[in-house]
Amino acid sequence: MLVGNEFLLSGAVNGYVAKIDGQGSQLWKTILSSGKTGKLFSGIVTQDGFVVFGLTSSDLNGTSVAWAAKLDLYGNTIWSKTYEQTGDSALRSGVLAEDGAYVAAGYMNKGDSNYDFLLVKISPSGNMIWNKTYGGAESEKAYSIARAPGGYVSVGDVNCLVSSIDAWVLKVDENGNSLWNQTVGGKQTDSPAYVTPAKDGGYLVAGFTFSFGMGNRDFWLFKISDQGQVQFSLTQGNAGYQEAYSVLETGTNSYVMVGWTDPIGHPALVGKATYDFYVIKISVVSSSSGVSSFQFIFYTATIVAVSTVSSLLVSKLLRGEKKKT
């Protein structure tokens, strides 16, 4: 399943969901429209179909509302619902709960320029079971959520007083009650985009960092335990800009990360909003001092001919994430 957006000449935005086969051929597509703006950020596979998450607005500059929709196995819309909060809100990611419901993570405006993490539990029929917000005096936005023992772990970023932006990791129980939270980052902007459980426990978090690595925006991967302790933190990049959106554990201490990069070997294009897909495979190596480091195995940043569906996926990655709206 591919989840993205359709950008119309009128300025309106629709949600776009497509299913492809193993050879990349499109089996079906569904356009989801809700107001002038209907953005989708992600989706999950369920036993009887798919659930997608995003935001919707009645006009191009209006208040956004958290939005989710359920499709059957053939792309037909079963339900499409919004979950209004007291201010701007959005759902960025979701997971299937043990009881068959869905728990989605996003953010909600607190009535000023700041946001809080927003978690919403949604019944199989699309009705809201509970919604809770988390945060402090700063602004926090959640971008991804994963199942955890006894609850859920969500990651996003927080505007800190001593730095610009840091990663913020939150664990809650099955009912949404906060268990712990942890801030991870340096003196500059560091933001996660994705969290997934590690095979040996804990969670892998992928995103980008300005504080570490080459100094510009680099791929960032860190692992955090189920109690909130950072176990390692790695970067990969060059003098240009890179941003990771996902990580896959492929073996013991071995990971593949995907995202985008400024075209490698073309310094004139650095910072010019011209991007290539960027795929890396890394292995974590513990040094004699016990400090984790990494060994770079390979990378690729190749421009290839892409289908219409793949182009929409690129549009989702580059246009949706750059704004983090």
Backbone angle region of 56, left / alpha / beta, with phi > 0 → left and psi within -120 to 50 → alpha? beta
The answer on pLDDT for 295 being more than 60 is no
- Number of domains making up the chain: 1
Q: What is the pLDDT of residues 145-192, one digit of tens each?
A: 999 999 999 999 999 766 589 999 999 999 999 999 999 999 899 999
Q: What is the pLDDT of residues 263-281, one digit of tens each?
A: 877 777 777 778 888 898 8
What is the CB-side half-sphere exposure of residue 118 using CA atoms within 13 A? 28
Structural domain includes residue 103: yes
Which has the higher per-residue pLDDT, 323 or 211? 211
How would DSSP label each residue in 56-78? EESSTTS--EEEEEEEETTS-EE
- Residue 107 to residue 205: CA distance in whole angstroms: 18
**Rounded-to-integer distance, Cα 270 and Cα 259, Å:** 16
Q: State if pTM tops 0.75.
A: yes
The reply to whether 278 falls in a domain is no
CATH of the domain at 61: 2.130.10
Q: Judge whether 263 lies within some domain.
A: no
- 302 close to 277: Cβ distance less than 8 angstroms: yes
Residue 281: inside a domain? no
Question: Which one-letter amino acid corresponds to residue 102?
Answer: Y
Does the residue 76 lie in any domain? yes
Contact call for residues 66 and 75 (beta carbons, < 8 A): no
Question: Which DSSP symbol is given to 126?
Answer: S
In a domain, 262, yes or no: no
Report yes or no on 257 lying in a domain: no
Domain that holds residue 102: 2-247+302-323
In a domain, 286, yes or no: no
Phi and psi at residue 33, in whole multiples of 5°? -115, 135
| Assigned token pair, 268 | 């004139």
Q: Look at 26-30, 61-65, 209-213, 246-250 and tell me which has the smallest mean pLDDT.
A: 61-65
Question: What are the C-alpha distances in Å from 314 to residues 2, 4, 13, 261, 319?
Answer: 10, 9, 15, 12, 8
